[in-house]
Amino acid sequence: MPVAYHNDRGLRDRCQGSVPRPSHAALATGTGCRRGFRCTRRQVAYHEGTPRGVSRDDAPHRRGDGRIQVPLTTGDGPAAGETVGDTNLENRAHQALVTWLTEEHPQPGQTVPIREFARKLGMSRTPVRSAVGRLHERGLLSYDPTAGFTVAVPSMSSLYELFELRLMIESHSVRRYVEQGARSAPVALRQLVDEASELVEQAVEDPAQYIAFRQNDSRFHRALVELAGLPRLLALHDDLHLNIHVTRAGMEAPMNHQRLDAAVAEHRAVVDALEAHDGPGAREALESHILRVRDQTIVFMSQPRIAGDGAGLAGWR
């Protein structure tokens, strides 16, 4: 069947074959659209057009209820060997976007380079846009009618809320572990603290080594939540970890020996308390650590920033 395109405001949504104008029932069931082509229900929602000033490559589409929705089809067609809707491709694009957000630390408000991601990943823009939509729903990306999708600009209130959630999850996990009558802290926690202590000197001398220190820190906090033995709570913590990490990207105080030493010392205090069967002491040490990092981050974010100051050194400590 020949492929026809809608030509509304430069938007070309691919539809399969021309059919008589559908009835209201057909529109309701998604078997037709008002342009006289046979479209899926999802395609019908795309025919509102592209916002003025935004290319169809970077623009989302709005459904009838006004919610932004990333299209599943594209006039460019899939790349060689690609199947539209392939979750593996979308997951690859999602992981690439997360890596970009967490390791390259784009500035808040920076446009997401959808075309560039598609080119580097060797796929069409369809799975990239779907991955962008997932991150937009999580609040990590924003949508601007002029610029398209951009890195979300963090707010004090959102950062404060994220840290409150982190405090609740990690403190509860430690309390639950102690209440279950655990004998001592897992050996892995002590090993992570020792490893972090060795990484401090390297991280200060070589910023590239800071990634290893940051990963160690992430594993330590995740290991605390694992103590609760609740898979869903751990999944919530993983999502929260990403949100805080991206929100703080490039927005922290400059890295120095004192900051890293303080983080290691506070981690060690948590493990020492657990090994001494001091549950309340472990929770107090952990909560004090999280609140210190929260307050430090908020103070730094509230200060005027010089371009490039502290960029690329965000972490999860």
Average pLDDT over every residue of 24-48:
42
User: Would you say residue 54 lies in a domain?
Assistant: no
Which range of 37-46, 104-113, 205-214, 307-316 scores highest in mean pLDDT? It is: 104-113
**Is the domain of 160 the same as that of 139?**
no
> Who has greater pLDDT, 52 or 142?
142
Q: Please, which pLDDT band fits residue 231 given cuts at 50, 70 and 90? A: very high
Domain boundary among the residues 120, 153, 186 is at 153
**Is the domain of 182 the same as that of 231?**
yes
Predicted local confidence at residue 157, as pLDDT? 87
**Is the domain of 207 the same as that of 297?**
yes
**Residue 138: how many other CB atoms lie within 10 Å:** 13
Residue 287 has pLDDT above 90, yes or no: yes
**Is the domain of 66 the same as that of 124?**
yes
What type of residue is 217? D
Residue 69 has pLDDT above 70, yes or no: no
User: Would you say residue 45 lies in a domain?
Assistant: yes
**Is the domain of 233 the same as that of 213?**
yes
Q: Please, which pLDDT band fits residue 187 given cuts at 50, 70 and 90? A: very high
Q: Please tell me the distance from the alpha carbon of residue 85 to that of residue 165, in angstroms, as a whole number.
A: 34
Residue 81 has pLDDT above 60, yes or no: no
**Is the domain of 4 the same as that of 102?**
no
CATH number, domain of 83, equals 1.10.10.10
Lowest mean pLDDT among 52-56, 120-124, 158-162, 313-317: 313-317
CATH number, domain of 256, equals 1.20.120.530
User: Would you say residue 209 lies in a domain?
Assistant: yes
State the average pLDDT for the chain: 74
Residue 28 has pLDDT above 80, yes or no: no
Number of domains in the chain: 3
Which CA distances in Å does 245 have to 82, 176, 269, 293, 315? 32, 26, 23, 12, 6
CB 310 within 8 A of CB 251: yes
User: Would you say residue 309 lies in a domain?
Assistant: no
User: Would you say residue 167 lies in a domain?
Assistant: yes
Average pLDDT over every residue of 53-61:
46
Angle CA(129)–CA(59)–CA(92) in degrees, nearest 5?
10
Residues facing residue 211 across a β-bridge:
none
Q: Please, which pLDDT band fits residue 125 given cuts at 50, 70 and 90? A: very high
**Is the domain of 120 the same as that of 168?**
no
Average pLDDT over every residue of 27-43:
43
- Pair of tokens at residue 79: 């790349």
User: Would you say residue 218 lies in a domain?
Assistant: yes
**Is the domain of 29 the same as that of 66?**
no
**Is the domain of 134 the same as that of 180?**
no
| Mode of pairing for the β-strands spanning 68-69 and 61-62 | antiparallel
Residues in the chain, total: 317
pLDDT tens-digit readout, 146-186: 889 998 887 888 889 999 999 999 999 999 999 988 667 78
Residue 249 has pLDDT above 60, yes or no: yes
Domain range spanning residue 23? 1-49
User: Would you say residue 306 lies in a domain?
Assistant: no
User: Would you say residue 313 lies in a domain?
Assistant: no
**Is the domain of 185 the same as that of 128?**
no
**Is the domain of 178 the same as that of 255?**
yes
* Strand locations in 35-189 (E): 61-62, 68-69, 141-144, 148-151
Model pTM?
0.65
